[in-house]
A and B are shown apart, each in its own frame.
Chain A
């Protein structure tokens, strides 16, 4: 087995006195699409933020292609090849689509490559070409999500992390987002996907993890998830001794 692109080992993360992750380990292999599921507040975003360097783990290791990145700041982690498309899209509202995309390549910009990257992104999201000179804040929710993902791609990440990309979108738009994720997977991109829409995420995933109040309740093949764990109980938040009222 080759070395995992991402290897998270027993990380503990706290917001001040509030423990959010209580020993989480997971890994993502090259070309894999791994889905991270769990109820609201389970700690999914916390995992992604810890990997991206937004949060510093209290303990544990995060290895990116074998290199320790726990404790590095977000701009360093980004430079090493990790893109996080954050929950809630986080478009810069007063910056144009063009400027949003240009910032996204800030740390990894290569003049020779930039135009081709833009064309690539326009191929995936033609609407962004039409809206190129408009402020990001004027885009619809779905268009903003496309812009957010496009930003995530501009740096040629070795690991793309998507935090609830379908949240709050119309059914049509949800379809096209999942189509896109499938498309990216088809290109061989390594993806860590957090989704509320667990059913659809599991259909696409090579492997899956289930988080429950800051601990892993399951890790393995998506189709086994239903057999091994009583998903319903986890989703109701009553699973395991780690759950708090």
Chain B
């Protein structure tokens, strides 16, 4: 293996891993607080991607504003879906919340399908996004480095929020023991809303980079990143934010290793190999790479 291959592998894994880490973080933020796997998370990404497409094609807004609008859309849809769809069912069973998230997912898909089009559309991106740059002798689109940089900033920001602010400390406490946090005066609604807003914000950012890679938006596009999130979370562990990040990068690393090492004839089975690895994780280490400390307690 040449040095070039190694460097290329590292850059690819860092940029793909960054994307996957953000995807799984968005899932785990809500799961950590509510023990809820939010199936509508993929649709947060999809709706944000459509905002990107709509504003990019039909308006002359400058790029930073288009991106900002897409990200804010994610945050708003996260917030609104919590208040409107999830909050009324919160005191009920976890099953009720799961069904709600399924329903929300389908409703959002159908709404976009009927009101816009079931066919895929190509959102425009600024030229610099897909421009190739050569670094360490490796040619990569600039967005790969933007992805890495954005993720580093977000991880630093989120860890400052979670460790350095009272709200963050309260959220970590609530994800370990929700009832006890409330007994100390931490409002349930505040903590849960914040988790959904952060989840939606991450979905909005993911939408930008996911769409830049795929080049298309379509109503059912949310299922692919959702699946990525599931796999990353199984690898890394559902019970900590660090686990989600580790899982995202580990998933990207394994996927890239498979791409490099599988013979061409087997390359189309890469995802099948990936699932075998996931199943092995579920059997051998169901808690994932990173063990969380909080109990399997659900929000009542």
Task: Report B170-188 residues with CB < 8 Å from chain A CB.
Answer: 170, 172-173, 176-177, 179-188
Residue of B whose beta carbon sits closest to that of A52: B183
Determine if B276 is an interface residue (Cβ-Cβ < 8 Å): no
Contact across chains for A54 and B293 when beta carbons are under 8 A apart = no
A92 touches B176 (CB 8 A): yes
B186 touches A99 (CB 8 A): no
Do A94 and B172 touch across chains, with their CB atoms under 8 A apart? yes
Q: List which B135-191 residues lie within 8 A (CB) of chain A.
A: 166, 169-170, 172-173, 176-177, 179-188
Given contacts A74-B179, A151-B184, contact A102 B294 (CB under 8 A): no
Tell me whether B185 and A86 are in contact (CB under 8 A).
no
B173 in contact with A99 (CB, 8 Å): yes
Size range of the chain A interface in the assembly = 20 to 34
In the complex, A73 has a CB within 8 A of chain B:
yes
| B172: chain A residues within 8 A (beta carbon) | 92, 94-95, 99
**Interface-located stretch among A24-32, A106-114, A190-198, A212-220:** A106-114
Chain B interface residue bracket vs A: 10 to 19
A73 B182 Cβ-Cβ under 8 A? yes
Closest-CB distance, B288 to chain A (whole angstroms): 16
**A106 lies within 8 A of B166 (CB):** yes
Chain B residues lying within 8 Å of A75, measured Cβ to Cβ, are: 182, 185-188
Do residues B185 and A78 form an inter-chain contact, with CB atoms below 8 A?
yes
Report Cα–Cα, A75/B181, bound state, in Å: 8
CB <8 Å contact, B180 and A99: no
- DSSP majority for the B interface? helix
Alpha-carbon distance between A107 and B187 when the two chains are bound, in angstroms: 8
Residues of B close to A137: CB separation below 8 A: 293
Closest to B167 in A: A106
Q: Which of A95, A99, A106 has the most CB of B within 10 A?
A: A106
Complexed CA–CA distance, A102 and B184 (Å): 10
Q: How far is the CB of B295 from chain A (nearest CB, A)?
A: 9
A9 within 8 A of B: no
Enumerate chain A residues within 8 angstroms of B176, measured Cβ to Cβ.
Answer: 92-95
Contact B187 A103 (CB under 8 A): no
A94 touches B186 (CB 8 A): no
Contact B185 A155 (CB under 8 A): yes
* CB pair A94 B294 closer than 8 Å: yes
B101 → chain A, closest Cβ, in Å? 24
A–B Cβ pairs within 8 angstroms, 21 of them: A52-B183, A54-B179, A54-B182, A73-B182, A74-B179, A74-B183, A78-B182, A86-B180, A90-B179, A90-B180, A92-B181, A94-B293, A102-B169, A103-B166, A103-B169, A103-B170, A103-B181, A104-B184, A105-B185, A106-B170, A108-B185
